[in-house]
Amino acid sequence: MTPLKVTRSQLKKKAIIDAAMQEFQEKGFQHASMDNIAHIAGVSKRTVYNHFTSKELLFDEIASEMVNMLCMFENFKYEKNKPIKPQLKRLVEAEIKLLKSKEVMAGTKVFIREALNNPALVSSTMEKLDQYTYPINTWFVDACTDGVIKSNHPEFVSEQFVAVIKGFYFWPQMLHCSPFPDDQKQQLVIDMVVDMIIKQYVD
């Protein structure tokens, strides 16, 4: 399949979005400047307004990209009659990969900041998030339906699974600017999360 050619307009739009993310991170939405976004993106202010007629629409575009990114979790489908431990291990590795991405970390910082300062601005983003069914939730629903994961509340198991991972790969970095665990500690985290699920819901 021939890859789709990216147009100049699409490249400029991407540059504007990246510049806006930087501007929102550094100054917050209220103090962010469309003039400065244009400067960072290396385009004219008119070009910025041709793509986004307001700062609110630009923020909403970033929010939409963030939602799509969170929902692009590597789609590991539950494999019936296959060993559960390797499947859980792949799920943990994929979640860590997602949480470690610069885009997710940067976008989350922006939204947490605005959720505190301007809740109305991020309300539509939260509504979009509520509308999505995450692939990781689907995996746990299918595993519970098959009777391998023994719980009547697969969404709760999924939330517990992700929450434990975030204790090492999200909140320490978000709140304390801590480095991500090294490869050795990452393997310990993977094993710990997998063993937790198996001991609590499989054995």
What angle (nearest 5°) sits at the alpha carbon of residue 53, between those of residues 50 and 56? 140
Q: 197 — alpha (psi -120 to 50), left (phi > 0) or beta?
A: alpha
Rounded to a whole number of angstroms, the distance between the first and last alpha carbons of the chain is 46
Element (H, E) at 33: none
Please give the Cα distance from 52 to 17 (Å, whole number). Answer: 10
97 shares its domain with 175: yes
74 shares its domain with 93: yes
- Six-digit token pair at 51? 């793509």
124 shares its domain with 69: yes
76 shares its domain with 2: no
What angle (nearest 5°) sits at the alpha carbon of residue 163, between those of residues 167 and 150? 135
Give tens-digit pLDDT for 5-30: 779 999 999 999 999 999 999 999 99
- Six-digit token pair at 190? 């993977």
43 shares its domain with 113: no
Give tens-digit pLDDT for 135-173: 888 999 999 999 999 999 999 999 999 999 999 999 999
80 shares its domain with 162: yes
Could you tell me the residue range of the domain that residue 44 belongs to?
1-53
SS3 (DSSP) at 152: coil
Lowest mean pLDDT among 60-69, 127-136, 184-193: 127-136
Is residue 108 within 8 A of residue 174, CB to CB? The reply is yes
69 shares its domain with 88: yes
Indicate the pTM of the whole model: 0.84
25 shares its domain with 108: no
125 shares its domain with 157: yes
CATH of the domain at 46: 1.10.10.60
Give tens-digit pLDDT for 87-101: 999 999 999 998 999
